[in-house]
Structures are given as structure tokens and as C-alpha cells.
Amino acid sequence: MREAITMWKYTRMVVLVALTAAMYAAVLIPFKLLPIIPGITELRPANVFPVICSLMFGPAGAWGAAFGNLIGDLMGGTYGLGSYFGMVGNFLLGYIPYRLWRMLTSKEPGAWSPAMLVRYLYVTLLASIACGVTVGWGLDILGLVPFHVLGPLISINNFVTAAILGPLLLPVLYKRVKQWGLLYHDVMDPADLSRGRLPHLAHVVMVLALFGSLYAGVSISLGLNEEAARTIPLLFGLEITAPESLLVPAGASVGMGLLPLMVLLLIACLLI
């Protein structure tokens, strides 16, 4: 994560932060008029920008996503304490893709093959869940929206948008950005780019922390051990029935229950 700090000494990286934030906020704000949960979240086609800007601009994409989300909340009338959890979640949405991509392959994401597309969808999924569980955890702590509603919703909203629009936009934009010499690894000195201390171990820890947080957060939020089994409503009319033996004990709060997993996620982000 060192380059998330060292990037600020590069003028062009600072400009790319501003560019990412401006693009993100500019598309976020109009869609505030199409809320999914009024005052909390909305239809967000703009969520493609943190992912593709991450793969092009690296840490500048992460910071741009964080500031762009905050600007979108300020200008769109949804600003509140939850906006700061939104900043952290969107930072991860823009941080995880380029870190994972660099760990998984040395190939650039500018031209799609089946393997490259699968890899793109994979890093997008993990980044989307990271954003979803972070924002869902924070807003549940604040008592605004229960985790079982917001965590999965944000994760799906992020992933679907980036999965559909990203493969269309990235090949076109990546080629232009590369020609202009604005890819983050072209702008920054290699000495300022961290390679990760234990990237493969961190990758495994990240996957376990993300899916564990999503599962445990929904379980705790719903208090699923009140019955031997309970049918859990999902999106689009789907549902799942979970046995009591697999569920997290009721009475635990989402805030404290997910804290160890959120710490693991932070450690994984630092080491990957």
C-alpha cells in the first residue's frame, strides 16, 4: 500500500485523482434521483469508474473513487456520517482491482481474452464485496440500515455495473491512456511501487475475510438462530433456507461480530 502515499509527490498522479473523482461524481449525482434506498444508495452505473480507473491509474483511482463518492454525497444531498464509511468502501473498490491484477498476471488489461475477462470479473467481484461489507458494516453500526439489506445490495450493485460496462469501456480507454503515458506504472518510479510482502497469503486471507464478512454479517443482522432454520429473502425474488447449525449466534452485534474479519481485510490489503 506504500504507493497510496508516495503517489502524492507526482503531479500527474494528483491530477488523475482529481480526474477520477470528477468523472465519478459527475455520473453519481444525476442518479441520486433513482434511489434504491432513499438517502442511502441508488442505481449507480458510475461504479464502473473505480474499477477501470484502478486498473489504469492505480492508487490515483482508489483516492479518486473515495473523494468522488464523498463529493457525490455532498452535491447529491445524501451526505452524513455514513459518507465516511462510503469513502473507505469506495477506496477499496478502487484499490483492490489493480493490486490483485498485478499479483495475478503480468499482462495488461487492455485487450480481452476469455481468461483475461474471467480475471477481470474476479477482481471486480472481490472489490465489490469489499465495498459492500465495509459500507454495510459502517451504516449498521450507525443504526441507519441493517447489514443484511445494505451489504449484499451494494456488493451486487457494484459488481453488476462494473461487470457489464467495464469490458466495454476499458479496452478503449486503456489504449488511449497508455498512448498518453498516464498508466500509473509509467508515471511513478518503480521504487515507489510496492510489490506486496506476502501477496499470495494476503490474497487467500482477503477472500476468506470478504466472504466470511458477507455471510456472518447477514447471519448476525437477521438473528438467524432464533429458529432451527429460516428462509432468507434475497434479491429478485430469490430465497435460501439456512440450518441453525451453520448460523452465527444471535445477540451478537454486527459491529463487534464483524470487527475481526474487517481487521483481517485491512491486513490483507496492506500485505497484498
Q: What is the pLDDT of residues 139-180, one digit of tens each?
A: 999 998 899 989 999 999 999 999 999 999 999 999 999 999
Could you give the residue ranges of the DSSP H alpha helices within 105-113? none
Could you give the number of structural domains in the chain?
A: 1
Q: Average the pLDDT over 108-137 and give the result.
A: 94
Task: Tell whether 235 is covered by a domain.
Answer: no
Does residue 226 lie in a domain region?
no
238 falls within a domain: no
Q: Which helix (H) or strand (E) holds 240?
A: strand 239-243
Read off the CATH number of the domain in which 19 is found. Answer: 1.10.1760.20
Tell me: pLDDT of 237 over 80: no
Calpha distance 219→145 (Å, rounded): 15
Average pLDDT, the chain: 88
Within a domain: 148 = yes
Instruction: Tell me if 150 sits within 8 A of 41, measured CB to CB.
Output: yes
Residue 224 lies in a domain: no
pLDDT in tens, 217-226: 999 988 754 4
- Let me know: does 35 contact 41? Beta carbons within 8 Å: yes
Checking if the pLDDT of 211 tops 80, the result is: yes
pLDDT, residue 112, reads 84
Long-range contacts of residues 25-32, Cβ cutoff 8 Å, at least 24 apart: 25/68, 25/69, 25/71, 25/72, 25/75, 28/68, 28/69, 28/72, 28/76, 29/72, 29/75, 29/76, 32/72, 32/76, 32/77, 32/78
pLDDT of residue 31: 76
User: What's the pTM value of the predicted model, to 2 decimals?
Assistant: 0.87
- Expressed as residue numbers, the domain containing 15 is 3-195
Q: Find, among 70, 78, 89, the residue nearest to 24 by Cα.
A: 70
Model confidence at 205, in pLDDT bands (50, 70, 90)? very high
What's the angle, vertex CA 257, arms to CA 251 and CA 260, rounded to 5? Answer: 160
**Is residue 244 included in any domain, yes or no?**
no
Residue 265, in any domain of the structure: no
* Residue 248: pLDDT band with limits 50, 70, 90: very low
Residue 44 scores a pLDDT above 50: yes
- State mean pLDDT over 119-123: 97
pLDDT for the residue numbered 234? 53
242 found inside a domain: no
C-alpha cell at 200: 499470495
Rounded Cα distance between 255 and 137, Å, is 6
